Amino acid sequence: MGSIDEYIVKLDNLANSMDIRLRDIVLRNKGALLSTLKLRLFQKSLDGNYNFLGTYAPMTKRRKKKKGQISNRVTLRDTGDWYNSMFVDFKSNTILIDATDVKNDVLKDIYGDAILDLAEQEVEFFVDTKLDPELQRMIDDLGNINIDI
């Protein structure tokens, strides 16, 4: 490596572009983030705060059973349109998940905004397995230093 001044310039450039780099990492991993959220909703019927979404009304249970769908808990997945409309963004150092389906606002009104939140443990897992390693590689590329993020 060159002089310490060169290293400091590289480090400053990395720091100044960190918001863009974080956004790139998040968007590159949007499939994994969405899968995590959808699986929790579908398999466990839990929002991002780990609150149980509840069970279906008797009439809905009968309709779900006729369709061969899960009927013993709310999954928020009937046709799949809402799940398929989900998207990920990254703003103000926050991972944002939302959906464009027409039912989105109604579902949020009924079940709360946390239906589209990642749970704290899910965010920690993402940071530990994706974000930290990628940031460490960027820093390593500057000159073989190791940090504990």
Give the pLDDT of residue 107. 97
Calculate mean pLDDT across residues 93-109. 96
**Residue with the larger pLDDT of the pair 103 and 17:** 103
Spatial neighbors of 7 by CB under 8 A, at least 6 apart, are 1, 142, 143
96 sits in which H/E element: strand 94-99
Whole-angstrom CA distances from 12 to 43, 57, 143 are 44, 57, 13
Band of residue 1 on the pLDDT scale cut at 50, 70, 90: very low
CB 132 within 8 A of CB 149: yes
* pLDDT tens figures, 23-70: 999 999 999 999 999 999 999 999 999 999 999 999 999 999 999 999
Provide the percentage of residues in the chain whose pLDDT is more than 90: 74
CB neighbours of residue 115 within 10 Å: 24
Q: Which residue has the higher pLDDT, 127 or 17?
A: 127
pLDDT of residue 10: 77
Confidence (pLDDT) at 142: 74
Give the model's pLDDT for residue 144.
56
Name the residue ranges covered by the structural domains of the chain.
4-143
